[in-house]
Amino acid sequence: MDNKQNLLRKLPAINIILEQARIKQLESRCPHTLISEAASETVQGIREAILAGDETPDTITDLDTIAAVVAKKVQEKISPNLRKVINATGIVLHTNLGRAVLAGSAVKAINDVAANYSNLELDLNTGERGTRYSHIEKLLCRLTGAEAGMTVNNNAAAVLLVLNTLAKDREVIVSRGQLVEIGGSFRIPDVMSQSGALLVEVGTTNKTHLRDYESAVTEDTALLLKVHTSNYKVIGFTAEVSAGELTGLGRKKGIAVYEDLGSGVLVDFMKYGITHEPTVNESIKAGVDIVTFSGDKLFGGPQAGIIVGKKYIIDKIRQNPLTRALRVDKFTLAAMEATLRLYFEEETAVAEIPTLRMIMMPSEEIRLRAEKLQGLLREKTGDSIETEITAGFSQVGGGALPEENLPTFLVSVRPLSMSVNKLEKRLREMEPPILARIQKDRLLFDPRTLLANDCEVIAINLQRIMETG
Ligand SMILES: *Cc1c(COP(=O)(O)O)cnc(C)c1O
């Protein structure tokens, strides 16, 4: 007890801490209130530690040590919470890491409209009020073959909007095998009930036939819905009705057909040796009346939900009051337009859109990148880690192409003086934070998802960690 009182008495006063040189120099970089708040919090934290602990070391009241803690706290307070990280996981579309990285031209477009006024809702030809959707509609139509198109906040919003506009208080027929949950909170049956549409399930988990849809049609049927089962695959004895067959039935019965493609790609992945992913053009060509897909999955653009299809349906959606609540901002539109323009030539899209470039990266390029990273690590960290290059797999992620294992080369690192878990944690705490994969007693760096000078930054930070422990 005496010792506790003793230590408490030795705690420096706040004003003494604030007069320390290393604290004083912070004043040019951040507000005084933040510094004194950090000092009070630090002293309070130490006071609680003294009262709680039985064998608190005397050094806990050292002025230098306390000043260092305060400085660190101040640094945390002035660093942005949302910030850049280095993705060495090899998961191209990592929802926790912000999904698609934008192309350079999309970033520039955001910058231009952010720092200036723009013609967001002004028709420059007439000088009259225009619509924000006009900037991307022609591009969407040209690239997908659809009659009309627009975009909203995300694909979940697009699904809600389409169902609410076309099927409120009416029936929507969907296969049992397509009642998916995506990313934890998006579930087709839940979105359906939120939209006011009535779900009519047909078929079974593994097999649904055209006759199942046909016999479920009533005069209350508003839509035939097909959902891309993005994040899982049914294998074995399966049967699914194609978009073409479904539109055949839709025509015969006078019912619109809606396809939620999830990812929605504009290039044929098969050409690049990757599993075929249904393209938006294929759906439109098959006669699907309305198609929705994400902007930040395989399309490789900003977060958005893209809606394309028949003009009469898009017109109806625009008039739905919900559309105003789900509308996109000017940054999204700017990035979307710039990304769409890259698709004019497939070669350009594949070269410039980071998502496509990473997924289609030749293994020779990955091997060279791995060798470069390994070389830098050896140079910077000497004998403190063991490295080797091993063959492995990257993933597309983002609930897209769940079965696809993209062959890659990994730089496998084993730290000799600390545990792999500690190294992983220390890398996550660096500036910028570095995220890699742990496998047994090794940390794996996948060069597929590294950008610009990430290799150098990883090597320098690993050096720092190995030097300071
Ligand atoms: C990802 C996905 C969604 C949700 O899209 P967000 O853009 O994440 O809102 C909806 N439907 C399907 C089939 C999906 O794969």
Same structural domain, 448 and 387: yes
Question: Distance between terminal CA atoms of the chain?
Answer: 35
Number of domains in the chain: 3
Beta-strand relationship, 305-309 and 186-187 = unpaired
d(CA 47, CA 51): 6
Among 230, 259, 263, say which to mutate for ligand 1: greatest number of ligand atoms within 8 Å of CB.
230
Tell me the CATH number at 367. 3.90.1150.110
Average pLDDT over residues 299-315: 98
Which atom belonging to ligand 1 lies closest to the Cα atom of 400? Answer: 15
Pick the residue with more confidence: 166 or 180? 166
Same structural domain, 74 and 149: no
What is the structure's pLDDT at 14? Answer: 95
Structure tokens at 374: 């390994």
Same structural domain, 305 and 437: no
DSSP 239: B
> At which of 327, 352, 377 does a domain end?
352
In this predicted structure, the answer to whether residue 31 has a pLDDT above a threshold of 90 is: yes
Our answer on whether the CB atom of 186 is closer than 6 Å to any ligand 1 atom is: yes
Q: What is the pLDDT of residues 98-112, one digit of tens each?
A: 999 999 999 999 999
Same structural domain, 337 and 365: no
Residue 212 Cα distances to 30, 241, 242, 246, angstroms? 66, 10, 13, 11
What is the structure's pLDDT at 135? Answer: 96
> At which of 306, 328, 352 does a domain end?
352
Our answer on whether the CB atom of 301 is closer than 6 Å to any ligand 1 atom is: no
CA of 124 to the centre of ligand 1 (A): 35
From the list 166, 168, 160, 162, the residue with the least C-alpha distance to 191 is 160
When pLDDT is cut at 50, 70 and 90, the band that residue 400 belongs to is confident
CA of 186 to the centre of ligand 1 (A): 7
From the CB of residue 269, how many other CB atoms can be counted at a distance below 10 Å? 20
Using CA positions, which residue lies closest to atom 2 of ligand 1? 262
d(CA 176, CA 191): 15
Which atom belonging to ligand 1 lies closest to the Cα atom of 186? Answer: 4
Same structural domain, 343 and 213: yes
Average pLDDT over residues 281-291: 98
CA of 25 to the centre of ligand 1 (A): 49
Question: Phi, psi (5° rounding) for residue 245?
Answer: -65, -40
Beta-strand relationship, 405-415 and 385-397 = antiparallel
CA of 88 to the centre of ligand 1 (A): 24
- Percent of the chain surpassing pLDDT 90: 87
Domain that holds residue 15: 2-78
Among 96, 155, 232, 240, say which to mutate for ligand 1: greatest number of ligand atoms within 8 Å of CB.
155
Using CA positions, which residue lies closest to atom 1 of ligand 1? 262
Same structural domain, 315 and 454: no
Element (H, E) at 466: helix 454-468
Structure tokens at 121: 């809702």
Whether residue 216 contacts residue 202, with contact meaning beta carbons closer than 8 Å, is answered with yes
Whether residue 147 contacts residue 288, with contact meaning beta carbons closer than 8 Å, is answered with no
pTM of the predicted structure, to 2 decimals: 0.93
Whether residue 370 contacts residue 410, with contact meaning beta carbons closer than 8 Å, is answered with yes
Whether residue 400 contacts residue 93, with contact meaning beta carbons closer than 8 Å, is answered with yes
What is the structure's pLDDT at 196? Answer: 97
What is the structure's pLDDT at 318? Answer: 97
Our answer on whether the CB atom of 399 is closer than 6 Å to any ligand 1 atom is: yes
Our answer on whether the CB atom of 331 is closer than 6 Å to any ligand 1 atom is: no
Our answer on whether the CB atom of 221 is closer than 6 Å to any ligand 1 atom is: no
Using CA positions, which residue lies closest to atom 7 of ligand 1? 155
Our answer on whether the CB atom of 352 is closer than 6 Å to any ligand 1 atom is: no
3-class secondary-structure state, position 449: helix
Sign of the dihedral through C-alpha 421, 426, 429, 432: negative
Residues 6+ apart with CB under 8 A from 387: 374, 377, 378, 411, 412, 413, 414
When pLDDT is cut at 50, 70 and 90, the band that residue 184 belongs to is low
CA of 446 to the centre of ligand 1 (A): 26
3-class secondary-structure state, position 122: strand
Using CA positions, which residue lies closest to atom 12 of ligand 1? 262
Average pLDDT over residues 447-452: 97
What is the structure's pLDDT at 223? Answer: 98
Which atom belonging to ligand 1 lies closest to the Cα atom of 294? Answer: 7
Pick the residue with more confidence: 236 or 419? 419
CA of 100 to the centre of ligand 1 (A): 14
Half-sphere exposure in the Cβ direction for 445 (13 Å, CA): 31
In this predicted structure, the answer to whether residue 1 has a pLDDT above a threshold of 80 is: no
Q: What is the pLDDT of residues 201-234, one digit of tens each?
A: 999 989 999 999 999 999 999 999 999 987 777 7
Same structural domain, 404 and 318: no
CA of 119 to the centre of ligand 1 (A): 30
Whether residue 435 contacts residue 461, with contact meaning beta carbons closer than 8 Å, is answered with no
Same structural domain, 345 and 368: no
- Percent of the chain surpassing pLDDT 70: 100
Tell me the CATH number at 117. 3.40.640.10
Our answer on whether the CB atom of 408 is closer than 6 Å to any ligand 1 atom is: no
Lowest mean pLDDT segment, chosen from 46-55, 64-73, 297-306, 354-363: 46-55
d(CA 399, CA 95): 9
Same structural domain, 289 and 368: no
From the CB of residue 29, how many other CB atoms can be counted at a distance below 10 Å? 11
What is the structure's pLDDT at 399? Answer: 74
Our answer on whether the CB atom of 332 is closer than 6 Å to any ligand 1 atom is: no
Structure tokens at 164: 């609410």
Same structural domain, 199 and 321: yes
Structure tokens at 443: 């940390």
d(CA 419, CA 244): 55
Same structural domain, 113 and 6: no
Same structural domain, 216 and 345: yes
> At which of 335, 352, 369 does a domain end?
352
What is the structure's pLDDT at 404? Answer: 83
Choose the most confident range, by mean pLDDT, from 48-62, 266-280, 333-347, 399-413: 333-347
CA max distance for the chain: 90
Sign of the dihedral through C-alpha 328, 333, 336, 337: positive
Our answer on whether the CB atom of 398 is closer than 6 Å to any ligand 1 atom is: no
Which atom belonging to ligand 1 lies closest to the Cα atom of 95? Answer: 8
d(CA 220, CA 67): 71
From the list 254, 280, 258, the residue with the least C-alpha distance to 269 is 280
Asked if the peptide bond before residue 302 counts as cis, ω within 30 degrees of 0, the response is no
Which atom belonging to ligand 1 lies closest to the Cα atom of 263? Answer: 15
